[in-house]
Amino acid sequence: MSTSRVVVLSRLPGTAVERLDAVHDVTYRDEDTRPSRDDVHSLVAGADALVVTLGERVDAELLDAAGPGLRVVANVAVGYDNVDVDACRERGVVVTNTPGVLTDATADLAFALVLMVTRRLGEAERLVRTGRPWGWGMFQLLGVSVQGRTIGILGPGAIGLATARRARAFGMEVLLSGRSEPDPTAVAELGAEVVGTDALLERSDVVSVHTPLTPATRHLVDATALARMRDTAVLVNTARGPVVDEAALVAALEAGRIAGAGLDVYEDEPHVHPGLLGRDDVVLLPHIGSATVETRAAMADLAADNVLAVLGGEDPLTPVR
């Protein structure tokens, strides 16, 4: 196997970089901060493989800077909206992602947001931290139970179904809606009902978003969709920020058209719509759905496995089709 040049644009956990370096010539940018585009273009020049995270935008300009020898872009994420897949295909560059290994961690966080919003846990934690006097009270920070309620999963792929399993364990009924039919075995296991998007929005007490970001799903949850939700319902988004129209979400919250929201992703990260920041009925997290030591190391390892496979003349493990 000949040695190839692999460029890793961000600091990665675990042993992925060491594994790549044992076989190939690795240029490793061991930093969390984002470099300038000019610096990125200089780093990638002459690369055979790129390992990127969501912080890097892989477009035609970057691909051209890498040069004609580039063979694979390994994205350390399940979503790949940061990569221009069409531009890669035009240049014969394989794109890979890291599905599966982050499913449970992200589903854990999604359901944690459900509980945080419905039980007002963010408000409660902030109250204690203020140092203001408080005492047990029958009506203090009353939330609502999830038992017997209905969760609607928008995008019943692996993460959506894993979130639904957690909801079932808490006694929730499950509705599923997506562009493709969910796994029938999972539907039966969950006792779920597959419905249209409008019906899901109208019938759910919790709407949890798990769709990938595509032109078709951008602002899928817009003012019209939010108007279909119950005024007692909450919205959770752990997918991609632009799937939800943030301005419309703020307007719906201000008008009392929905009861709350839990967000781990935003339209223009790291910027958050200012109308969300001061609201007690909203829980805001900094895009940490897959942020466990074990999960992030597994993601990096899978990206490395994909690079090693492609550079070794084999099929990638998890190609983006």
Q: Please, which residues bridge with residue 119 across strands?
A: none
Query: Which amino acid is it at 60?
Result: A
246 is an active site residue: no
CB 72 within 8 A of CB 304: no
Q: Please, which residues bridge with residue 207 across strands?
A: 152, 235
Contact partners, residue 115, CB within 8 Å, separation at least 6: 121, 146
Residue 176: both structure tokens together:
């599923």
Residue 174: both structure tokens together:
């499950």
Q: Token pair 């051209």 is at which residue?
A: 64
Contact partners, residue 318, CB within 8 Å, separation at least 6: 96, 97, 98, 99, 100, 302, 306
What's the Rg (C-alpha) of the chain? 21
Identify the active-site residue in 123, 193, 202, 269.
269
Identify the active-site residue in 240, 246, 267, 296.
240
240 is an active site residue: yes
57 is an active site residue: no
Contact partners, residue 229, CB within 8 Å, separation at least 6: 201, 202, 204, 207, 235, 252, 257, 258
Largest Cα–Cα distance in the chain? Answer: 71
Q: At what angle do helices 293-311 and 103-118 cross, to 10 degrees?
A: 150
**Strand blocks (E) in the chain:** 5-8, 25-28, 49-52, 72-75, 94-96, 150-154, 173-177, 193-194, 206-209, 234-237, 260-263, 282-284
Catalytic residues: 240, 269, 287
